[in-house]
Structure 1
């Protein structure tokens, strides 16, 4: 926690990422409440890094948690998560980046959304998966 110009405590913002080949789910949490919230879904296209950078600046993100699988044949996906981390570090060299197991997060996200009565599951599943990834990381910290 830091202090802003009016001597009010300021919490740190953490961004959770569910990185997929077509969509990127995002979730936010702060270090004070330790509760993750689904935030947004970005298309994984040529503009996603610019969009991600805007969000990082707007939300004052100082730590990023990237979901990676813990399966035996995880090398390709793990590489994608590490590649994303390197891209982020080029724009934000001081950014803290950690990884969190994402096994079954999409399946759990679908169940959560169905239980909440969400009709357009595919529209929100990636950001809900990012929320689960981030909350899992927060819970073990």
Structure 2
């Protein structure tokens, strides 16, 4: 079952990704609400692409936003490689969003909310910030 407020079966969603060497944070939102929500964290292992493909199908994802640093926007990077691979596998469009300071801001947000286990949730909060930034800028 989807965590999103819209219960329309034909509503498409947008997936935000904060790529890391060991963990990949996920957030989900849509153009109707223009709000991003934390979704989860995946291990960055050999099953990552398959797990992403399953989420993309389950949540009816129509676009993927992946955070990259300013330097990565000009040069190949692991985040861009992931974007290319997931787009080829799922035929879903991928765009890139600057992720400058999102992890630091995510940790601050979690501290302010009194969250326990900040390291457990900072990747998905960073993904939420990346996606929310894209939604604010593009919709």
TM-score range, shorter chain: 0.7 to 0.9
State the 4+ residue runs in structure 1 displaced beyond 3 angstroms.
Answer: 74-78
Alignment of 1:30-109 (within 5 A): 30-71=30-71, 74=72, 79-93=77-91, 95-109=92-106
In terms of Rg, which structure is larger? 1
Q: Is the 8 A contact 1:24 1:41 kept in 2?
A: yes
Q: Give the superposition deviation at 1:44.
A: 0.2
SS at match of 2:77: helix
Seen in structure 2, the aligned counterparts of structure 1 residues 60 and 75 have a Cα distance that, compared at 3 Å, is closer
Which residue does 1:11 correspond to in 2? 11
SS at match of 1:125: helix
Which residue does 1:138 correspond to in 2? 135
Q: Is the 8 A contact 2:13 2:28 kept in 1?
A: yes
Instruction: Report how many residues are paired.
Output: 131
CA RMSD of aligned residues (A): 1.8
Q: Give the superposition deviation at 1:82.
A: 1.4
Unpaired segments of 5 or more residues in structure 2?
1-7
Alignment TM-score, normalising by the size of structure 2: 0.88
